[in-house]
């Protein structure tokens, strides 16, 4: 029997629903690894591919949000490492005539630049903390103890404070 490809399976419907419900979570992770819209969209697509590949084996053994964060972070960290190893330089216009230049925007930009200079694992921890996840949830997602999350966040904050404004 040949199945009509316009008809979605239950798994495909459930996956599409999950993606719709957690789209902002995925984009948040992707934006932490790039501010370039095209690159963010590429990261988003890669995360979706990896989520789909693991969706049936996921089995809902843990919270779906935790699993999505883990897949998204692992995907972005892996692609970030590959990008850094290859030394690819993106060509882009560094001017945006519509960009906000008030003090709040400058502070957010400065924080984003400093966070982007952190190691990928530390960047992931900061992202999850900024998303207001508990230390326990952060630990579950990145695979470390709650106490280790606390220690790492303290060290990361110190590192961010001591960075120059390059």
Indicate the SS3 state at residue 93: coil
What is the rounded CA–CA span in Å between residue 76 and residue 145? Answer: 22
- Are both 115 and 74 inside the same structural domain? no
pLDDT at site 42? 93
pTM above 0.85, yes or no: no
User: How many degrees, rounded to 5, is the angle at CA 17 between CA 14 and CA 21?
Assistant: 140
pLDDT per position in the chain (166 positions), as tens?
Answer: 455 556 778 888 989 999 999 999 899 888 888 878 899 999 999 999 999 999 888 877 778 888 999 999 999 988 888 877 776 555 454 545 445 556 667 777 788 888 888 888 898 899 889 888 899 999 998 889 999 999 999 999 999 888 876 5
Which of 92, 114, 149 terminates a domain? The answer is: 92
Does residue 154 sit within a domain? yes
- Quick one: 75 and 143 in the same domain? no
CA separation (Å) from 123 to 4, 15, 67, 130?
A: 44, 27, 18, 10
Residue ranges making up the domain that contains 87 = 8-92
Same domain, 110 and 80: no
- Considering the domain architecture, whether residues 24 and 71 belong to the same structural domain is answered as yes
88 and 12 in one domain? Answer: yes
Q: Are residues 68 and 141 in the same domain?
A: no
Domain final residue pick, 72, 92, 112: 92
Residues 75, 151: one domain? Answer: no
Instruction: Tell me if 48 is assigned to some domain.
Output: yes
Angle at 25 between CA 22 and CA 31, to 5 degrees: 140
- CATH code at position 34: 1.10.1740.10
Q: How far apart (Å, rounded) are the C-alpha atoms in residues 89 and 149?
A: 33
**103 shares a domain with 62:** no
Please tell me the predicted confidence (pLDDT) of residue 87: 62
Is 1 part of any domain?
Answer: no
pLDDT of residue 113: 83
In this structure, what token pair is assigned to residue 50?
């990896």
The domain that contains 103 carries what CATH number? Answer: 1.10.10.10
How many domains does the chain divide into? 2
């Amino acid at each position: 029997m040949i199945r009509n490809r316009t008809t979605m399976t239950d798994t495909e419907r459930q996956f599409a629903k999950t993606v719709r419900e957690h789209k902002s979570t995925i984009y948040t992770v992707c934006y932490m690894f790039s501010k370039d819209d095209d690159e963010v969209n590429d990261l988003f697509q890669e995360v979706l591919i990896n989520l789909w590949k693991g969706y049936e084996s996921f089995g809902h053994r843990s919270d779906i949000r935790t699993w999505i964060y883990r897949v998204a972070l692992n995907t972005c960290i892996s692609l970030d490492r590959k990008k850094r190893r290859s030394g690819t330089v993106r060509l882009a216009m560094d001017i945006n005539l519509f960009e906000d230049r008030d003090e709040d925007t400058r502070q957010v930009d400065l924080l984003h630049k400093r966070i982007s200079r952190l190691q990928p694992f530390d960047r992931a921890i900061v992202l999850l903390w900024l998303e207001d996840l508990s230390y326990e949830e952060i630990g579950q997602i990145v695979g470390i103890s709650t106490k280790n999350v606390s220690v790492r966040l303290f060290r990361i904050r110190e590192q961010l404070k001591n960075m120059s404004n390059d």
